[in-house]
Structure 1
Amino acid sequence: MESAIQRISESVFLGLCLKVGTSKVVAMRRDMMGINDMVENKTTIDGFCVMLSGSQGEGFRLKESDLDSMIWPKNQRVIWELSQSQYYNTHRQTLFLCDYSDSPPGFTLLYLLSPSMDRFLRSVCVTMYNRYYISSSKLRHIMCPTSSNYILHGPCSNGTFGMLEYDHAFCFVCDFWPPSASSWIDRCHSWPQPDVVGDIVQSGCHFVAIGHKLGNHEDHEWRISFSLAEQRLINSMNHCQFLTYGLLKLFFTEIINKGLNDDDKLLCSYHTKTAVFWAIQQNTIPHWCPQNLLGGFWVCFKLILKWVYEGVCPNFFIPENNMFLSKMHGDKQHHLITRLYGLYEKGLTCLLHSPSIRSHIINVLQNPRISICTDEQTLISKAWFDRFLYNEIARNEAVYFNSNVQSCMRYLHTIKQMIELPLLTQFQVIMLQKIASLVFCKTAFTLHMETNMFENKLRYRTDKISCHMLKLVARFGFITDMQYIAMYYYKTLRYMNALSIIEMIKVKLAQPYVLYRSNEDTEIYTEAVGGQSWSTKMRQAVAWHITLDDRIHYISELIPEQQASLQNKTCALTFPPFILLYMLEILCYLHVDIMKTQTVLDDLQTLVQYDEGQIIDLNYRDISWQILGICQQVTGNLHAALYSYQQSLRQEPYHKIRTATKMRIQGICQWNPSII
């Protein structure tokens, strides 16, 4: 029986490596997100630091993985006792002192020590005990922008950039370890290692703007955040421990919380993370290895069941902070206990309810003698690793650049300095290269927007700079990034130049080794570019979606869609590259050879109507029908355009452009009443 469990554990380990990632893939993801943090923090001059956190910061790329970022001011610090103020220049830095005498464990009030206050701090202060305290609720509402790009979500402002959803949490930083968490240091005998403990303690903690629901000052309290410490702990896990955490996340998503709305979900990913931390530190599993993966899972599951039964979930750093205190009670608690105990009685067979895990268990049960390889190096080929790499590069392009030339130039200066650092990993170097490509692109278009009304000589000079930058975009980016050059040529009325670039892109995309979506022939890819650097592979053999920042007008015909996107909490539009390529070609031919527009329009219509997810991602059907409608409208085929816009409305509203679609339909019907 023990041997069977070990073999099933190995099979699940294999499945999780393919689902969650091998140790090399996860390390690559963390490296790339880390370099984004470095670029942001070295570039910003507006006084804020940024740290990416959440599941994606930990290295997960599951469907439900969130991208969180913590943002804090550089010139404001929190201290635990007055003696710590000696380490700061109070003329340049504003200090807050913790007052946790009347707050639940893990929470505190922050009162202002510095006598001078700027207007912003005054606006978020309340007076208590003859002192000025920073109100978490006031600051939370002020820091959630009034524009429609964000909504308030707990202590965070929630928004989207393209298809990526994210949470921003404004917080304050403290350079000192909390006194209430000192017992954690004493518990670290076997895990984590002393150097990790020292690094965590030296890094201090943060305070996020949310109070305890049962606290005396809920609206004004701040919660101590150990996000940075937790990230360091997860990075110190071996891969089996990390996959155990991943298995628990899948278990809760696909089984425990399946079908529940957010209000009914008493357990979340943070509770699973806490359980894994406690299980590792208490040495409940002697060997965290592939053969013992399910044993580690079961220990953590039983620990969570015990917590739910007792109504006590001790915070890993401050055990006195019961994270169940305000929500684990009454009928909901009883229902959850019943549900968890029912799964506990089934034993490990409860995992058969998980779509992600089921097949790997059944595979061993049906084939008891099957050979299972747990060597991570042989699980994925180099070509498949390249796929993961390119996906990560596209996902992690720094997307929060300010749309002005000065900001873009600061980013370029930072990247130039960082590319020469000796300790960068190979993954970070290629990520820096792609970020540079993005900055060059934004700089070129922003420069054109800001100087378009200037006198001819200056426009000529800036045009040469923009063209040079866009050539660098093509040199450092994917094949499809060449489309930015074509867009710029179209925008500046150089239609033949744009058509020449479009033809070059078509030739490159027609090569059988190009990786894009449904292309599974990695052998041809390996044969063609296998020995090349990642930089060369990107430029010659990788196609990707095109993302247009809504704050920059690349193509005038898409302005209504960009405005609708901005109004609906989205900062960018993402296009299938082939769709946008056809659109550019049609727009250019309208000015140089109108007879050829119909041929290209027919090709675009065939692609949109008959593609079954091979070239156009199903999530991009709304924007694809929209592009077809725009092209039909500009060529004068209003009946077809109306039909395409109507089809766009029938798709999943992934890009949130329905306002623009309805506006275009209304425009057609107003000018041509007979078309209705």
Structure 2
Amino acid sequence: MIYNAINDKTLISSGSLAEGLDLPGSDLDIMYVLTNVDVIDNIRNIKPPKQRCTCTLVMVTDHNHPGFTRLRLVETLNEGIRFFGDVFERTTDGFYLSVNGFINEIKKMNSHNQLSTHGPCLTFKDQNTDVAFCYRSKCFPLNAIPWVWRYRRQWPPDFVIDQIKQYGCLIVPVGPKYISDFDSLWRLSFSVAEKQLVHSFNFTQLLCYGLLKLTLKRIVNTNNDIKDLLCSYFLKTALFWVSEEVDIDTFQIPKLFTCFFLCLNRLISWVNNCYCPNYFIPQHNMFLGKITPDNNKTLSHVLSSIQVGGIDRFMRILFSPYNAMYLLLRTKSETSFIKLDFLFYRIHSQFETKDISQCYKVLTLIESLRKSESSAFIIDVCKIYYALLCQYAVQVIPPPITINKMHNIHKSYHRHLQDGIKADAVSGWLYYASFYYVIGQYNVTLKLTDYVISRCLPDMVHLVFDDSEERFNSYRQNVHSTMTLFERINIAAVGSVDYLKHSSLIPGELRLEVKHSDICIPSIVMSHCLRFLCYHHHDNICNRQQALRDLYLAVEKELDKGYKRISDSLTILGVCMYVRK
């Protein structure tokens, strides 16, 4: 059950960056929604046999723990039975999916990635990214239904409420923090709904959200006695409640600080009462096990002092001349475009594709958006995304070796490969090089890799992203504000080569590496790998040895730099060393 689900998943981005905020410390979290399991709210909603997934689970509401559910096994196909003892708890009323059993099974199935547990998330050893594996229920939770119908002013708009209800919710493997021995409780997550709500904010609501997050980082969390008692999720919840209860006209720029202090007052009230009502399920007190009568006094005092100090004192603390935000506000306009570029580079590769029809649908959507946009920056973003999608689309059409005639090869591949060149300075050329390698034109592959290596200079910005000051300065030397984003990324940025699962472009020697999952390889590493393989086919031992040494040095350099997907590069090196034998 777990194995099949891992290979049938949907990727969802969450966190501040996904919501549209790029503040110091902003993150981009990844949620993998496992799609090979049906989660239903009532046994009567079970699908007909031919439409069912590997496993069907029914949500069992636990009234003692609002905001959580248990997942009882209804039915499983034969391939899921072998995991019964590890991932299900047997009780008098059936089998319930175990949180710890589920996480341990995920880690076992991904043992090559050396995953470590971090709350409900798992962290890859060679990455700084937390990923949460979860399930989706297409049914909106019964105890959240009152949210749909309760009285509110103008926000959120009706169409957003309808979208949220239709999506349902996610179910993540983490139980209540205030109990330690209940392994079958899963948290109901409204991450997708919350992202939709934030995206429906007007500009003042978004600014208010940013002020709240900065308050947490620069004021509250600087006090060691209360550090980490609050989290940005509580602040966002306060903003949701206030936005719903006041007239939307309150959220106007001249009233920004009025809105901020409304949210702050709400937060102070919650802290004093040790009760933070979940926005969707108010019966769920999110402070349980975290903020108690034993620790709320200092926190309440700090929050109240912000209120008493007024706007001037608040701004002096928040935007001190010595902190990074103040420096950001003073940044010269001629370099501000770089910060916008770097924000885009941080989030630009969050794509997931499963089949060619999905690629074509997204390509059509992007092209439509580009034609309707007036912003030059957004138009360039569309062009880059279009090129990136073409790099994926070309990998999910039939392998080029199955097409006999050259004009058919060009008809099937050439258009996507040409468009994919425009995604950044080099990665598109490497897909072209891979294409020619797969069809046996090794000399063409060598010429293309020569070009790529000549472009992979030390001062190029890598899109598997490092936003250090050194990278910022290097980028500034290579670009200027009169260039468009599209020109800048194609002059000064280097992307990686992402081979999709079962990619038709990956060299045959590496095909096993994409049998179960994607693989991401730095362009410089893949260039030397292709050169090694070409010389191997030419039986050119001298150049093959040199290419292998260059590959080794490239991987070593990536390792020294702390490249986040270094395990993929090490795998490529290992395969080439094996081929040499």
TM-score for both structures, normalised by structure 2: 0.69
1:92 equivalenced with 2:70 (yes/no):
no
1:236 equivalenced with 2:200 (yes/no):
yes
Pairwise CA distance, 1:269: 1.4
Deviation track 1:649-668 (CA, whole Å, cap 9, x = no partner) reads 9x76455869999xx9xxxx
Structure 1 residue corresponding to 2:360, chosen from 416, 428, 449: 416
1:71 equivalenced with 2:39 (yes/no):
no
Classify 1:103/1:200 alpha carbon distance in 2 versus 1 (closer, same or farther; 3 Å): same
Structure 2 residue corresponding to 1:151, chosen from 108, 111, 116: 116
**For residue 392 of structure 2, what is the aligned residue in structure 1?**
439
1:419 match: secondary structure: helix
1:396 equivalenced with 2:348 (yes/no):
yes
Pairwise CA distance, 1:205: 2.1
Letter in structure 2 aligned against 1:178: L
1:291 equivalenced with 2:254 (yes/no):
yes
Structure 1 residue corresponding to 2:103, chosen from 120, 140, 144: 140
Pairwise CA distance, 1:220: 0.3
Distance 2:533 2:102 in 1: 47
Would you say the 8 A contact 2:425–2:494 is kept in 1? Answer: no
Letter in structure 2 aligned against 1:518: R
Structure 1 residue corresponding to 2:418, chosen from 472, 488, 499: 472
Classify 1:223/1:180 alpha carbon distance in 2 versus 1 (closer, same or farther; 3 Å): same
Deviation track 1:576-601 (CA, whole Å, cap 9, x = no partner) reads x8x99999999999xxxxxxx9xxxx
Classify 1:118/1:486 alpha carbon distance in 2 versus 1 (closer, same or farther; 3 Å): closer
Count the aligned residue pairs: 514
Distance 2:487 2:64 in 1: 53
Pairwise CA distance, 1:245: 0.8
Distance 2:95 2:453 in 1: 65
Deviation track 1:458-488 (CA, whole Å, cap 9, x = no partner) reads 8999998999478425544223335526865
Would you say the 8 A contact 1:177–1:203 is kept in 2? Answer: no
Would you say the 8 A contact 2:120–2:174 is kept in 1? Answer: yes
Deviation track 1:495-529 (CA, whole Å, cap 9, x = no partner) reads 8724774599699x99xxxx982148645426xxx
Distance 2:30 2:449 in 1: 41
Gaps in structure 1 of 5+ consecutive residues: 1-43, 364-371, 373-378, 402-406, 527-533, 564-569, 590-596, 598-629, 665-676
Distance 1:179 1:659 in 2: 44
Letter in structure 2 aligned against 1:77: V
Matches within 5 A, 1:459-538: 468=414, 471-472=417-418, 475-481=421-427, 483-484=429-430, 488=434, 492=442, 497-498=447-448, 501=451, 517-519=475-477, 522=480, 524-525=482-483, 537-538=486-487
Would you say the 8 A contact 1:312–1:325 is kept in 2? Answer: yes
Letter in structure 2 aligned against 1:99: V
Pairwise CA distance, 1:57: 2.3
**For residue 245 of structure 2, what is the aligned residue in structure 1?**
282
Would you say the 8 A contact 2:67–2:187 is kept in 1? Answer: yes
Deviation track 1:254-285 (CA, whole Å, cap 9, x = no partner) reads 33224869x95121111111011011112188
Deviation track 1:154-181 (CA, whole Å, cap 9, x = no partner) reads 22223388x7724233123132342344
RMSD between aligned alpha carbons?
5.5
Deviation track 1:524-571 (CA, whole Å, cap 9, x = no partner) reads 426xxxxxxx8xx45995431232459999999xx9xxx9xxxxxx96
2:129 match: secondary structure: strand
Structure 1 residue corresponding to 2:67, chosen from 89, 106, 113: 106
Pairwise CA distance, 1:572: 4.2
Would you say the 8 A contact 1:205–1:226 is kept in 2? Answer: yes
**For residue 492 of structure 2, what is the aligned residue in structure 1?**
543
Classify 1:116/1:258 alpha carbon distance in 2 versus 1 (closer, same or farther; 3 Å): same
Distance 1:95 1:496 in 2: 51
Would you say the 8 A contact 1:105–1:318 is kept in 2? Answer: yes
Deviation track 1:398-434 (CA, whole Å, cap 9, x = no partner) reads 4666xxxxx6xx34x4322443459952258535522
Letter in structure 2 aligned against 1:546: G
**For residue 25 of structure 1, what is the aligned residue in structure 2?**
none
Classify 1:396/1:187 alpha carbon distance in 2 versus 1 (closer, same or farther; 3 Å): same
Distance 1:216 1:524 in 2: 58
Deviation track 1:104-149 (CA, whole Å, cap 9, x = no partner) reads 1111222233486752563522222332222222222222444252
Classify 1:542/1:279 alpha carbon distance in 2 versus 1 (closer, same or farther; 3 Å): farther
Classify 1:250/1:465 alpha carbon distance in 2 versus 1 (closer, same or farther; 3 Å): farther
2:219 match: secondary structure: helix
Distance 2:188 2:506 in 1: 46
2:250 match: secondary structure: coil
Distance 1:74 1:327 in 2: 35
2:496 match: secondary structure: strand
2:33 match: secondary structure: strand
Structure 1 residue corresponding to 2:228, chosen from 253, 256, 265: 265
Deviation track 1:625-647 (CA, whole Å, cap 9, x = no partner) reads xxxxx999769xx9xx9xx97x9
1:199 match: secondary structure: helix
**For residue 20 of structure 2, what is the aligned residue in structure 1?**
59
Would you say the 8 A contact 2:152–2:244 is kept in 1? Answer: yes
**For residue 172 of structure 1, what is the aligned residue in structure 2?**
136
Letter in structure 2 aligned against 1:480: V
Distance 2:550 2:19 in 1: 47
1:224 equivalenced with 2:188 (yes/no):
yes
Distance 1:588 1:116 in 2: 45
Would you say the 8 A contact 2:446–2:531 is kept in 1? Answer: no
Letter in structure 1 aligned against 2:274: G
Distance 1:279 1:317 in 2: 14
Letter in structure 1 aligned against 2:64: S
Between the aligned residues of both structures, percent identity stands at: 20
Letter in structure 1 aligned against 2:59: C
Instruction: Decide which moves more: 90-99 or 114-123.
Output: 114-123
Classify 1:270/1:634 alpha carbon distance in 2 versus 1 (closer, same or farther; 3 Å): closer
Instruction: Decide which moves more: 219-228 or 457-466.
Output: 457-466
1:310 equivalenced with 2:273 (yes/no):
yes
Matches within 5 A, 1:584-599: none
1:210 match: secondary structure: coil
Distance 2:481 2:431 in 1: 31
Classify 1:540/1:252 alpha carbon distance in 2 versus 1 (closer, same or farther; 3 Å): closer
Deviation track 1:83-117 (CA, whole Å, cap 9, x = no partner) reads xx257325533543333245311112222334867
1:185 equivalenced with 2:144 (yes/no):
no
Classify 1:307/1:355 alpha carbon distance in 2 versus 1 (closer, same or farther; 3 Å): same
Would you say the 8 A contact 1:135–1:219 is kept in 2? Answer: yes
Letter in structure 1 aligned against 2:184: H
Letter in structure 2 aligned against 1:395: I
**For residue 617 of structure 1, what is the aligned residue in structure 2?**
none
Distance 2:34 2:179 in 1: 24
Matches within 5 A, 1:554-573: 572=520
Would you say the 8 A contact 2:121–2:133 is kept in 1? Answer: yes
Classify 1:652/1:253 alpha carbon distance in 2 versus 1 (closer, same or farther; 3 Å): farther
Distance 2:568 2:369 in 1: 44
Distance 2:351 2:528 in 1: 26
Letter in structure 2 aligned against 1:230: E
Would you say the 8 A contact 1:285–1:296 is kept in 2? Answer: no
Gaps in structure 2 of 5+ consecutive residues: 371-377, 461-472, 536-542, 574-581
**For residue 578 of structure 2, what is the aligned residue in structure 1?**
none
Matches within 5 A, 1:593-672: 653=562, 655=564
